Amino acid sequence: MVNTSVRRLSLVLGLLCANCYAQNPLDFGSNIKTADPSAHVWQDGKMYLYTSHDEECQDDFYMKNWHVFSSEDLVNWKDHGAVLSVDDLAWADNFAWAPDAAYKNGKYYLVFPAGTGMKDRQNPKNSTKWMGIGIAVSDSPTGPFKDVIGKPLWREPYANDPSLFIDDDGTAYLYFHGSGKDFHVARMADDMRSVEGDLMEMDMGGYEPKMEGPWVFKREEKYYFTMPENNRELAYYMADSPTGPWTYKGVFMEQENQSNNHHSIVEYKGQWLLFYHRWLKDAADSCPTPQRKVAAEYLQFNSDGTIKEVERTKAGVSDFSDRIK
pLDDT at 85 over 60: yes
The SS3 assignment for 14 reads helix
3-state secondary structure 122-154: CCHHHCCCEEEEEEEEECCCCCCCEECCCCCCC
**What's the pLDDT at 285?**
79
Report the distance separating Cα 195 and Cα 154, nearest Å: 9
- Least Cα distance to 176 among 158, 194, 190 occurs for 158
**What's the pLDDT at 13?**
39
How far, CA to CA in Å, does 154 sit from each of 98, 130, 138, 140, 157?
A: 17, 12, 21, 26, 7
User: Model confidence over 259-295: pLDDT tens digits?
Assistant: 999 999 999 999 999 999 999 988 777 888 899 999 9
Catalytic residue among 36, 54, 100, 297: 36
**What's the pLDDT at 212?**
97
Report the distance separating Cα 316 and Cα 296, nearest Å: 5
Mean pLDDT over each residue of the chain, to the nearest integer: 93
**What's the pLDDT at 58?**
81
pLDDT at 135 over 50: yes
Report the distance separating Cα 108 and Cα 9, nearest Å: 50
36 annotated active-site: yes
Residue 24's pLDDT band, with cuts at 50, 70 and 90, is: very high
Report the distance separating Cα 119 and Cα 121, nearest Å: 6
Report the distance separating Cα 158 and Cα 177, nearest Å: 9
Phi, psi (degrees; rounded to nearest 5) at 14: -65, -40
pLDDT at 17 over 70: no
Architecture per CATH, 33-324: 5 Propeller (2.115)
User: Model confidence over 200-256: pLDDT tens digits?
Assistant: 999 999 999 999 999 999 999 999 999 999 999 999 999 999 999 999 999 999 999
Residue 67, beta-bridge partner list: 51, 82
**What's the pLDDT at 172?**
98
Residue 14's pLDDT band, with cuts at 50, 70 and 90, is: very low
Mean pLDDT of 141-161: 97
User: Model confidence over 31-41: pLDDT tens digits?
Assistant: 899 999 999 99
Look at the pTM and tell me if it is higher than 0.75: yes
H/E run at residue 66? strand 65-71
212 annotated active-site: yes
Contacts of 252 (CB under 8 A, 6+ apart): 226, 234, 235, 236, 307, 308, 309, 310
pLDDT at 59 over 50: yes
**What's the pLDDT at 22?**
66
User: Model confidence over 257-266: pLDDT tens digits?
Assistant: 999 999 999 9
Catalytic residue among 161, 182, 212, 229: 212
- Least Cα distance to 139 among 83, 91, 67, 96 occurs for 83
Mean pLDDT of 139-151: 98
The SS3 assignment for 302 reads coil
Residue 310's pLDDT band, with cuts at 50, 70 and 90, is: very high
Handedness of CA 257, 34, 300, 252 (dihedral sign): positive
pLDDT at 121 over 60: yes
**What's the pLDDT at 156?**
96
